[in-house]
Structure 1
Amino acid sequence: MSAQQTNPNENRPEVPFNPYAPGYDVNPHPALEKLRAEAPIFYWEQGRCWVLSRYEDGVTVLRDDKRFSPNRDDWEFASVLGADALIPEMEELNKNGLFALNEGGHARVRRLVSPAFTPRATERLRPEIQAITDEVLDTLAAKGRLDMVKEFSERIPARVIGSMLKIPQGHEEQFLEFTNAVAKSVFAGALAPEELAPLRRQIHEGIVLVTETIDDRRRNPLENDILTTLIQTEEQGDKLNKQELLALVSSLIVGGFETTVHLVSFCVYNLLQQPGVLAEVKSKPELIKNLVEEVLRFDYFVKMGAARYAREDVELGGMHIKKGQMLLVLLGSVLRDERAFDKAHVFDLQRNANVSIAFGHGAHFCLGANLARLMVQIAMGSLVRRFPEMRLVKQPSFGPHSLMRKMEELEVDLGSPSA
């Protein structure tokens, strides 16, 4: 697929861009480097959007809420998305989600929920996350070789989120099904009809479970409980309603589960793939934080990036962008931009990560970023401490996914556990 300029007077070369091409998920960086060099802003016909691949352009769009909206209702093709029609159970959740709210509604909800996601509030979850991680690692000790994606990365986030919300005992498996179904619903359009029915059932049953949990928590609040905090949060008499709480739980699942699973897998891979990195982390455990940030920059796993929609006609990088058109900030390219990062192609644990926009930028910075970072830091720190001799058996395999570079299997030999 060739990406072409919509401006006939623009004499830029055609640049092949196909994020679904064989091999792209394994290593997208040659294609992204070509984009940055030859067509940093172009209209991608297949995706019906403008694609931005340089850091400066990406930050400009993400920080400018006056000209660029995160609300997909502002997109010229919003009426043909069809995802809610395929899974009506998600419609109520989506329309009350942060990205669907107008500017005033977004600011109001974010103001109410932000205290529950500060670094200090998130840090209170450390003992729970550590206990879950240790329990998972205990089950791996005698296995030797294993698939880290299915047996490590995927086993921690859903349990952490369920524990955070204090899902009633006996419903953990149902909540796990709900978690997987909500994450899968993002690309419902690619599912076969026979796959939609069980997905809808799992989402419906999950919504009932979470609704009942919210109602119970209203009657029986708990201390140091994130759901109780969200229910009781109030500013000048303003509170979140039940639909807004449900939407936030859904957002927490999508962001906290899918993102964290991928980040853990990519951290394990880069830790074992980069020469000397494992030895450096073993000798200086405090570098685990740097490891997580550098993996987010160096090997970002979100294939499509952050979407914004033009509120008005805009000139950007010599391109005329019309009101209603989508702009896709390719974060995997932006975070490897040589103009913003010294030796961007080098994995550097000592790099200053303060300029990273992996979790967004400005008013729409991801609320769950602190939680995701904490989960991954604990998971990776515990893994290195317990299995310092682990090694990569073979290169990972990747599976189809419309939005992510989905690492499907990562075979690792854990070696002898530490005493």
Structure 2
Amino acid sequence: MTREAPPAVKFDPSTAEFDVNPYPMLERLRAQPALPYWEEGRGWLLCRYEDAIAVLRDNKRFTANRSVWEFDAELGLTHQIPELAELSQYGLFALADADHARVRKLVSPALTPRAIERLRPEIQAIVDEILDGVEAKGTVNVVAEIADLIPARVIGSMLKIPKGREVQFQRFTDAMIKNFVPGLVCAREVEAMRPDIAGGLELIRETVEDRRRHPQEEDILTTLIRTEERGDSLNAQELLSLVAALIVGGFETTVHLISFTVYNLLQRPEVLAQVKAEPELSRNVIEEVLRFDNFGKMGLARYALEDVELGGVTIKKGQLVLVMLNSALRDEGTFSSADVFDVRRHTNASIAFGHGVHYCIGANLARLEVQLAVSTLVRRFPRMQLLGPPSFGPHPVLRKMESLEVQLRPQ
């Protein structure tokens, strides 16, 4: 027996308290007898692991395509650059099932663990250069002076952006990120960013055409261009959208995962000592941070394609469900001692990068970037210490860490 309309719950992820520690509120939501409905967000909150995995696996009754949402027309994006709106139409979340499967299969060879592993020397060189630049400083803001710099440099290196145009590419990536997350910028700011978007897209097009004429071995863009299956291939817009997805999806995730991993590591001297003694444990630390202190705020959005009974309620066709990864990954019913940070935890149950057909295609790249950044920091600055708690800034979908002050070489 299901209930059609349970009372809406009080849920406010915009508070400073939620940014610092969302877990008491998420625990209360998991304890609800039925799925809670968040009236302000106009959607259901899936806070338990069992419900979250059920929806992520079910691409027949749930979709990531927002166009089916009952409020889509009413709440459509009002300040969006036309070029980006066109890109979004060809993004993985917007494609029909058949095209989505086709594009993922075509792009997968460029993003396998083996393909990404070939980038290790490039990424290590970028990390080393960035740390060279802060080595002489006594104190460093890990977010702004280290984490923020790595992803754009890595993507630029992967795409082999022409020398002398790195600043243009950086301005493009900054504008892309701000415009792909609704609510970060106002209409006036959007208009000011249009030249950066237009110039950046032209730069990417020029880079793609140059690579068509001069392919390079073991190069991700060449791999994407060459990728074919039974005469099928990526069209120009799909290719451009994939490059945009690498920029947007790979930036915020990597910046925050580096920052949150350093924070969680330095909070725990005993774990830091273990990582110094066993550098391979840095991978475990990253996975446990993704589970224990996930920086997501709003979860993954899915929309019902038909009426679905789940968690004691009926989710109507066209309604939004938010898969709250930050809560599901702390679910005591799935994870033993879920509220304990365990660097030696071994589990295959993590859904931090999604699950199923929409599993993050850039997960391997993000993990490698973070692993190299964190392990190199620990090796080069083994006595680094936190100078205080991090500060957070406003963001509609992330617990946005803005500052993390660390003393690199304590006296």
Q: Give the TM-score, by structure 2 length.
A: 0.97
Name the aligned partner's letter for residue 16 of structure 1.
K
Q: Give the RMSD, CA atoms, in angstroms.
A: 1.6
Q: CA deviation at 1:177?
A: 1.1
User: How many percent identity over aligned positions?
Assistant: 61
Query: Partner amino acid for 1:383?
Result: L
1:277 aligns with 2:271: yes
Structure 2 residue matching 1:255: 3-state secondary structure? helix
Check conservation: 2:16, 2:392, Cα contact below 8 A. no
- Residue 209 of structure 1 pairs with residue 206 of structure 2: no
Equivalent residue number for residue 23 of structure 1:
17
Residue 250 (structure 2) aligns with:
256
Post-superposition shift, 1:260?
0.2
Which runs of no fewer than 5 residues in structure 2 stay unpaired? none
Aligned mate of 1:398, from 392, 397, 405: 392
Deviation at 1:198, TM superposition (A): 2.0
SS at match of 1:41: coil
Indicate the structure whose relative CO is greater, using CA pairs within 8 Å and at least 6 residues apart: 2
* Residue 174 in structure 1 maps to residue 168 in structure 2: yes
1:232 paired to 2:229: no
**Equivalent position to 1:7, from 4, 15, 18:** 4
Out of 368, 373, 380, the residue aligned to residue 379 of structure 1 is 373
| C-alpha distance in structure 1 between counterparts of 2:78 and 2:120, whole Å | 36
| C-alpha separation in 2, matches of 1:239 and 1:114 | 13
Query: By how many angstroms is 1:74 displaced?
Result: 1.7
Structure 1's 368 and 84: CA in aligned 2 closer, same or farther, altered over 3 A? farther
Asked if 1 retains the 8 angstrom alpha-carbon contact of 2:9 and 2:37, the reply is: no
CA–CA distance in structure 1, aligned partners of residues 113 and 194 of structure 2: 35
Equivalent AA in structure 2 for residue 241 of structure 1:
N
Contact 1:297 1:358 survives alignment (8 Å): yes
The number of residues matched between the two structures is 410
Q: 2:88 aligns with which of 87, 94, 101?
A: 94
Match of 2:402 among 388, 405, 408: 408
Alignment match, 2:316: 322
Q: Could you tell me which residue of structure 1 aligns to residue 349 of structure 2?
A: 355
**CA deviation map 1:4-41 (0-9, x unaligned):** x9835x4x6x6421101231111100000110012551
Instruction: Provide the C-alpha distance between the structure 2 equivalents of 1:84 and 1:211, rounded to a whole number of angstroms.
Output: 27
> For residues 198 and 235 of structure 1, what CA distance do their matches in structure 2 show?
41
In structure 2, the residue matched to 1:245 is 239
1:401 corresponds to which letter in structure 2? H
Give the match's secondary structure for 1:78: coil
- The 1-side partners of 2:33 and 2:326 are apart by 16
* Kept in 2: contact 1:40–1:52 (CA 8 A): no
Quote how far apart the aligned CAs of 1:302 are: 1.1
Is there any run of 5+ residues in structure 1 with no aligned partner, and where? Answer: none
Distance 1:113 1:191 in 2: 31
Give me the TM-score of the superposition, normalised by structure 1: 0.95
* Distance in 2, Cα, partners of 1:414 & 1:353: 33
Bigger CA drift: 66-75 or 330-339? 66-75
